[in-house]
Structure 1
Amino acid sequence: MSDAISEAIGVVARSAPEIRNGLAGRRRKTDAENASGETQLAADVWADELLAERLTAIDGVGQFASEEREGVVECGEGYGVTVDPLDGSSNLKPNNSMGTVLGVYDAELPASGRNLVAAAYVLYGPITTMVVARDGDVTEYVVEDDGTRRAVTEDLTLPEDPTVYGFGGRVPDWTDRFGDYAREIEDELKLRYGGAMIGDVNQVLTYGGVFAYPELESRPEGKLRLQFEGNPIAYVVESAGGASSNGEESLLDADAEAIHQRTPVYVGNEGLIERLEAGF
């Protein structure tokens, strides 16, 4: 079974150059919506189909779920694997960064974040990098054009002195309690927000700080999906010595009730997350 974890991570790494190279001709919108009601780009559908085919073929993967499809695909016995095939795909039009998110759960989906045994994300930036969390260790790789990985940072941890923040959602739609927290942070840290969670979280891992896509007045349940985004990113950040929260508790402790369940997401240096929860 442990080989299935390595193979799932390897499949995403080997697929990353192909996904990146295939984006240019797939920027158009389709007539379809994903399970969350968002209009899909051709790139969303293509990346989902590519990863589904390759991940469900792994011996030891029993379930596959994607942000881009309604239900869970049963494909054998073993781990539950989740993907956000193209996090931040709206950034395709202006040609900004985006990524791919992977979660590997040792439980039937939907599953608690405490059932994660590995999580990873690929960042399609000026270079393609991959951050992998497993067994309490976090490693950053450069993904070469042939899909091989070259470790560039081992035992990755958040810097102790935070520098950056990035907050999603429209400011007028923030709740008063998050707005109060945001104003404190704005006086202390530098804004870094690019509209793709992976790029913004990677800034926090690199420089220290906090990323949030908070509860909103119009969407108190949050915007990001727990299974595909919240849990895997929380696993990476906590493995790197940081903290996560949904405003009340670690995202990894949140009850998983539905495959497309949404959640507020707060991740970053432990002290900044503790301050957030204290204010809430």
Structure 2
Amino acid sequence: MERHITLGEFIVENQKDFPYAKGELSALLSSIRLAGKMVNQQINKAGLAEILGKAGKENIQGESQAKLDVMANDIFISSLRKRGEICGLASEELEDYLVFDDRIHKNAKYVVLIDPLDGSSNIDVGITVGTIFSIYRRITPEGSKVELKDYLQPGTKQVAAGYLIYGTSTILVYTTGNGVNGFTFDPGIGSFFLSHPSIKFPATGSTYSVNEGNYVHFPAGIKKYIKWVQELNEEENRPFTSRYTGSLVADFHRNMLLGGIYLYPQGTTAPKGKLRLLYECNPLAFLAEQAGGKASDGLKRIMELQPEELHERVPFICGNKEMVEKAEEFLTSCKS
């Protein structure tokens, strides 16, 4: 009989792959797993519980918060605070980072950065949404309060990252720098089971994900790249297929499994890009690279960028390595 491996079993069996193997990863992912189950439950009953729609306030980026944004944020903060593995947390939904400096947390080694509910504008129409998380080892000495510099670390310093996707099934995907694995939630049993071992981008892809409604605002290199992917070329399997949902996690997940590229460049309406370096781009870049893909701002490796503020935005191009490099070629040629 085929053995079905749970997320907990997998973590224990692969604990040595975590850079600081003392059980912290297991506990942290256990908290994220539990919070993910709770958010999934709220999403599934959102209409019945009347928690769809806007919350009536804005986050730090000036974007309207959905009720589930607020709820998901509270759930993850509560779940992670209850354990002693982190000394602080930063969320896309909060203006400033949180400090956990009580007796339980002050000697913790890690901080978490999180986008509690990516794609929440799609909640009201039932489109897939997700959670993105990133884990760093603190810079400040244990026993002291965490500081801003603990969060403003380049993506190369991540010790773990991943996402939960809430769709036709709920899947948790994560990496600790030793490949990418995905676990599907079985609601009947209440456990996540290994369903996508050793995920790799296919050698080639034929899907591009971009909000073409912003085409007029894109830089010249991106415009030329889009025209190129739309050209007829049977040898190169073009034109590519356009697939864009407005949920970053959903588009990234599909492209990683089936092959494709995601683009959210800078433009006149988003001079620095729209996506957040710390909460979205770095964790997905870590996953992409571990799956054989690539993530770039069009010129530089995403994970080598030095963050300057908590809610910094950057252009984001991510997917199959060859596809990303082709987009970079168009951007470089237009700058030369």
TM-score bucket of the superposed structures, by smaller chain: over 0.9
Residue of structure 2 aligned with 1:139, choices 178, 181, 187: 181
Provide structure 1 residue ranges, at least 5 long, that are not aligned to the other structure. none
For 1:53, the equivalent position in structure 2 comes to: 78
For 1:69, the equivalent position in structure 2 comes to: 94
| Distance in structure 2 (CA, Å) of the matches to 1:264 and 1:272 | 16
Residue of structure 2 aligned with 1:230, choices 250, 264, 281: 281
Moved over 6 A (4+): none
Provide structure 2 residue ranges, at least 5 long, that are not aligned to the other structure. 1-19, 101-105, 139-149, 232-237, 332-336
- SS of 2:125's equivalent in the other structure is coil
1:1-280 maps to which residues of 2 (within 5 A)? 2=21, 3-23=23-43, 24=46, 25-75=50-100, 76=106, 77-107=108-138, 108-145=150-187, 147-168=190-211, 170-187=214-231, 188=238, 189-280=240-331
| Distance in structure 1 (CA, Å) of the matches to 2:53 and 2:329 | 44
Q: Which amino acid aligns with 1:58?
A: R
Q: Identity rate of aligned residues, in percent?
A: 28
Q: CA deviation at 1:240?
A: 0.4
TM-score of the two chains, using structure 1 as the length reference = 0.95
Moved more, 178-187 or 119-128: 178-187
| Distance in structure 2 (CA, Å) of the matches to 1:260 and 1:268 | 23
The C-alpha deviation readout for 1:78-121, integer Å capped at 9, x for no partner, is: 21101111000000111111001110012411221011111111
- SS of 1:96's equivalent in the other structure is coil
- SS of 1:277's equivalent in the other structure is helix
Question: 1:64·1:80 contact (CA, 8 Å) conserved in 2?
Answer: yes
| Distance in structure 2 (CA, Å) of the matches to 1:213 and 1:106 | 29
- SS of 2:31's equivalent in the other structure is helix
Q: Which amino acid aligns with 2:207?
A: V
- SS of 1:151's equivalent in the other structure is strand
Question: 1:192·1:203 contact (CA, 8 Å) conserved in 2?
Answer: no
TM-score of the two chains, using structure 2 as the length reference = 0.80
| Distance in structure 1 (CA, Å) of the matches to 2:272 and 2:312 | 9
- SS of 1:177's equivalent in the other structure is helix
Q: Which amino acid aligns with 1:261?
A: E
| Distance in structure 1 (CA, Å) of the matches to 2:252 and 2:177 | 20
The C-alpha deviation readout for 1:114-158, integer Å capped at 9, x for no partner, is: 111111111111111111111221001102226521001211100
Question: 2:34·2:79 contact (CA, 8 Å) conserved in 1?
Answer: no
Sort the Cα spacing of 1:266 and 1:118 in 2 relative to 1 into closer, same or farther, 3 A: same
| Distance in structure 2 (CA, Å) of the matches to 1:278 and 1:98 | 32
| Distance in structure 1 (CA, Å) of the matches to 2:330 and 2:155 | 24
Moved more, 54-63 or 194-203: 54-63
Tell which structure's C-alpha radius of gyration is larger. 2
Higher percent of residues as strand = 1
